[in-house]
Structure 1
Amino acid sequence: MTETTTPILPCRSIPETLAFYRALGFDVTFEQTRPNPYAVVQRGDIGLHFFGMSRYDPAASYSTCLINTDDVDGLHRAFRSGLKAAYGRVPTRGLPRIGPLRDTTYGVRQFLVTDPGGNCLRVGQPNGESLEHAPYPTGAFTRALHLAALLGDAKGDHRHAARVLDRALTEAGALELADGVGAPAPAGGVAAAVDGAAVAAPIPADGTGGAAPVGGAAADGGAAGVRPTPPQLFAALVLRADLALRLDRPDQAAALLDRAAGVPLAAAERAGAGDALRRAEELREALTEPPE
């Protein structure tokens, strides 16, 4: 016996949905308008069905589909390339959109792509032995970075994720932002990090990623783990730039990327920061593309 499972996903416009999936490299294998709008697309072993609903609200969609692959990096590159060719840019917010490629804490390397109907495709490749979440980070900064990534990617709560990073960066003495809606000042007198465009606080020559945090914690972050390593600081600034762009703050995103570019990374650290380096390049490219 052989069985297969095929998702049947809603959409408001069959033609718009098919145009999107053609851009991703799918073939349309079936399409009808009567008695009800319906279509099927196929790309290799990925098969998706769609039905049309005239009163459907894509922005309110909870529909999702998991796609397993043995080449998630290759699919991410192919999808981005196809979208740019079709749309003149790579859409990263609104509908449709494609997200960054990241290693998750639950043993999967994945990215999310959301079609014009609001259907989210989770495209992933296992990179661990278990799908259970890894132990929660213990250091304050790594914990904030972990939480911000979850809020931004899994929940789409970009504003909350930005507040989490703003507070962590400010507590670390690594960043000062002005003019916005970032986190309230934490106890102990650390100034509030907020959602603005001016980026300050030069990086010290020793590469420690900023001034010592309030309370005089040592360079290793002390017991609280407040002070980031250079790779952690770089990843946080790139993620914060990503969030700024999704919050329609391109000037702030550019300033944050400039700040990240000044973080000194040793050769071994750069080798381990491949995803963040790649994402920084993607964000730079997005800043030069026509507005969405």
Structure 2
Amino acid sequence: MTDETTIPILPCADIDETADFYRLLGFDTTYRQTRPNPYVIVRRGGIELHFAAIAGFDPEQSYGSCVVAVADTAALFEEFAAGMRAAHGKLLLSGIPRITRPRRRKNTGNASGFTVVDPGGNWIRVFRRGDEPHGDDGAAAGGPLAAALENAVVLGESRGDHRQAARILDGKLARHDGSAPVTVLVEALVYRAELAVRLDDPDHAGRLLDRARSTALDDAQRERLADALANAAELERGRTG
């Protein structure tokens, strides 16, 4: 049969807080009940999520997660990001709720995806259809700094261990001897700056962004780093705004 549908039921502390958050991402509330058990359904196109409120639920302790497969992760990220900016004036990059940028992850077969952590602490992991997670795709090209960046992304994006991800990058950046490609260096600096924002250290984020900004790049390198440079600009606006 080809008409089966599986829909996760995810936990939350408050159905209205959850529905309001998804509304700013472009979802509609299609069902809501308060008795006997609080329950809400949100939908955006083919994405449908169900939430049940649990008394005393702590989002920081949530293990809720699901994978959403879409045609274009970059386009969906930009639509979600626009909703966040309209509501909050910036991307929510730290705490709960938050969003991560689309990045390739070695623990998902080098698939590119992003994650929304909603008010219930649920990790909504978005991947391009056909690129759903399927395991480690091998070692990074580009030397020790590139490998450290890949490992840091796994820890920061897939596991939420921002502090350990920062430690991994700090060690390699401190010992950087110029052997890594300049594009890898800038990507590492910008990602480390994002981790600093998540760890509530805007001053260190600023120093890292200054270092990335002062790195000489040619036009081809800037084109390759377009996403990282856009991220750097957004981090700077959020840090100083």
TM-score of the superposition, structure 1-length normalised? 0.77
Aligned to 2:163: 159
Gaps of 5+ in 2: none
Aligned to 1:143: 147
1:285 aligns with 2:215: no
Asked if the contact 2:69/2:132 (under 8 Å) is kept, the reply is no
TM-score of the superposition, structure 2-length normalised? 0.92
1:268 aligns with 2:223: no
1:188-235 Cα deviation digits (max 9, x unpaired): xxxxxxxxxxxxxxxxxxxxx4xxxxxxxxxxxxxxxxx211111111
1:40-74 Cα deviation digits (max 9, x unpaired): 11100000111111121110001101011111111
Aligned to 1:36: 37
Partner SS for 1:90: coil
Q: Shift of the alpha carbon at 1:131?
A: 3.4
Alignment partner of 2:192 out of 240, 251, 260: 240
1:20 aligns with 2:21: yes
1:264 to 1:164, Cα distance in 2 relative to 1, 3 A: same
1:81 to 1:167, Cα distance in 2 relative to 1, 3 A: same
1:124 aligns with 2:127: yes
Q: Shift of the alpha carbon at 1:128?
A: 6.1
Aligned to 2:69: 68
Q: Shift of the alpha carbon at 1:126?
A: 5.0
Q: Shift of the alpha carbon at 1:130?
A: 8.7
Asked if the contact 1:101/1:275 (under 8 Å) is kept, the reply is no
1:129 to 1:101, Cα distance in 2 relative to 1, 3 A: closer
Q: Which has the higher contact order (CA 8 A, sep 6+)?
A: 2
1:250 aligns with 2:202: yes
Q: Shift of the alpha carbon at 1:88?
A: 3.5
Q: Shift of the alpha carbon at 1:171?
A: 1.2
Aligned to 2:4: 3
Asked if the contact 2:15/2:39 (under 8 Å) is kept, the reply is yes
Partner SS for 2:233: helix
Aligned to 1:178: none
Aligned to 1:212: none
In structure 1, distance between residues paired with 2:129 and 2:220: 24
Gaps of 5+ in 1: 174-208, 210-226
How many aligned positions are there?
237
Give the stretch that moved more between structures: 12-21 or 149-158: 149-158
Asked if the contact 2:33/2:40 (under 8 Å) is kept, the reply is yes
Give the stretch that moved more between structures: 278-287 or 18-27: 278-287
Aligned to 2:112: 109
1:157-187 Cα deviation digits (max 9, x unpaired): 11111111111011114xxxxxxxxxxxxxx
In structure 2, distance between residues paired with 1:45 and 1:97: 22
In structure 2, distance between residues paired with 1:17 and 1:128: 28
Q: Shift of the alpha carbon at 1:287?
A: 1.1
Correspondence 1:176-255 to 2 at 5 A: 209=178, 227-255=179-207
1:53 to 1:132, Cα distance in 2 relative to 1, 3 A: closer
In structure 1, distance between residues paired with 2:28 and 2:132: 34
Q: Shift of the alpha carbon at 1:107?
A: 3.7
Q: Shift of the alpha carbon at 1:279?
A: 1.5
1:97 aligns with 2:98: yes
Asked if the contact 2:111/2:132 (under 8 Å) is kept, the reply is no
Give the stretch that moved more between structures: 66-75 or 273-282: 273-282
1:25 to 1:64, Cα distance in 2 relative to 1, 3 A: same
Query: Alignment RMSD, CA only?
Result: 1.8
